[in-house]
Amino acid sequence: MGKASRDKRDIYYRKAKEEGWRARSAFKLLQIDEEFNIFDGVKRVVDLCAAPGSWSQVLSRKLYLPAKRSSDSKDGDVPLIVAIDLQPMAPIEGVIQVQGDITNARTAEVVIRHFDGCKADLVVCDGAPDVTGLHDMDEFVQSQLILAGLTIVTHVLKEGGKFIAKIFRGKDTSLLYCQLKLFFPIVTFAKPKSSRNSSIDCSSGWLEGPNKVYIPFLACGDLNGYDSDRSYPLPKDAQGSYRSLDPVQPPIAPPYKRALEMKKASSQGITELEKLSLES
Ligand code: SAM
């Protein structure tokens, strides 16, 4: 990652903490909304791969909380938000959490049950596999996650509904575009300004030969907002040094928890075997 991307990432981390977002990815969804008004008329929404929950926070703040605060809203008017992830996440007001795998067919049934058999107006999916660093492999696993999301979408999204998914740019992007075009009349690839330059999520690609297809590509995010091609100084305190902020919501059961426990135990000279006998 270059310096400009690192600086921009740090700015968004800080801004996310100041505004109470659990992750800076919140800005991606907000910038997509600025461009496409994705929340217009939305009453039921599904957040696939939601942990640690910044997109769910956006959904709660944009849809649930305003409707709840509105004095004349009845219970039936308050939007329903269902969030799914393999990992548990800390509660968010107005968000129903389901711990589950989006590649499992039963997940769609659980969502439909929460919506009382009705369909969703919007499905968002920010799924990312554990990245291996082998780009082709990561891109493939990521595209499988989107296809799993799309399978759920075909069951839970109403006709005319919207599907927002993070994709990794790569040579299969245009194949994905064609697959999505089978289900949606309009497919747009967009890169929110808050996503890193070095990040491989976003944009365009093409098939070769007669299948060649050019994909509409749109940059989104306020032109006055942070620009991924510039670097910014981090804000300093009165003493002239940068003060870091604590995370808004640390993960409650991160996959690396076990590794940390093992590292701690080994630094204390406790072997895994001894630890197990201590625990039993
Ligand atoms: N949108 C989230 C936010 O704003 O806080 C960040 C999502 S994070 C980039 C990717 C998430 O995908 C991880 O929490 C991971 O557990 C989840 N994930 C990956 N594979 C999944 C699967 N098969 N089913 C459900 N969640 C999955």
Q: Which residues are catalytic?
A: 166
Q: Is the pLDDT of residue 211 over 80?
A: no
228 shares a domain with 92: yes
Residue 244 sits in a domain whose CATH number is: 3.40.50.150
271 shares a domain with 230: no
264 shares a domain with 210: no
Q: How many domains does the chain have?
A: 2
The atom number, within ligand 1, closest to the CA of 148 reads 23
Residue 130's pLDDT is 81
| Distance from residue 49's CA to the centre of ligand 1 (Å) | 3
The atom number, within ligand 1, closest to the CA of 84 reads 25
Half-sphere exposure of residue 223: CA atoms within 13 angstroms, side-chain side = 0
280 shares a domain with 197: no
Place of tokens 């308050």: 78
256 shares a domain with 161: no
Between these two residues, 172 and 261, which has the higher pLDDT value? 261
pTM for this predicted structure: 0.81
Average pLDDT, the chain: 82
What is the spatial distance between Cα 240 and Cα 38, in angstroms, rounded to a whole number? Answer: 41
Residue 15's pLDDT is 72
Phi, psi of 219 (to 5 degrees): -85, 135
Q: Which domain holds residue 262?
A: 251-280
Structure tokens belonging to residue 169 = 């740019």
271 shares a domain with 191: no
173 shares a domain with 79: yes
Instruction: Sort residue 272 into left (φ over 0), alpha (ψ -120 to 50) or beta.
Output: alpha
Question: Which amino acid, residue 71?
Answer: S
166 shares a domain with 102: yes
Residues 220/202, Cβ–Cβ less than 8 Å: no
Nearest CA to ligand 1 atom 9: 128
| Distance from residue 151's CA to the centre of ligand 1 (Å) | 16
| Distance from residue 87's CA to the centre of ligand 1 (Å) | 8
Cα of first residue to Cα of last residue in the chain, in angstroms, is 45
Provide the angle, in degrees to the nearest 10, between the axes of the packed helices 26-36 and 3-18.
90
Residue 276's pLDDT is 62
Please give the full DSSP string across 118-177, using - where no structure is assigned: PPEEEEEE---PPP-S-HHHHHHHHHHHHHHHHHHHHHHEEEEEEEEE--B-STTHHHHH
Pocket of ligand 1 (CB under 6 A): 22-23, 25, 49-55, 84-87, 101-103, 126-129, 145
pLDDT tens digits, 77-121: 799 999 999 999 999 999 999 999 999 989 999 999 999 999 999
pLDDT tens digits, 171-189: 778 888 888 999 999 999 8
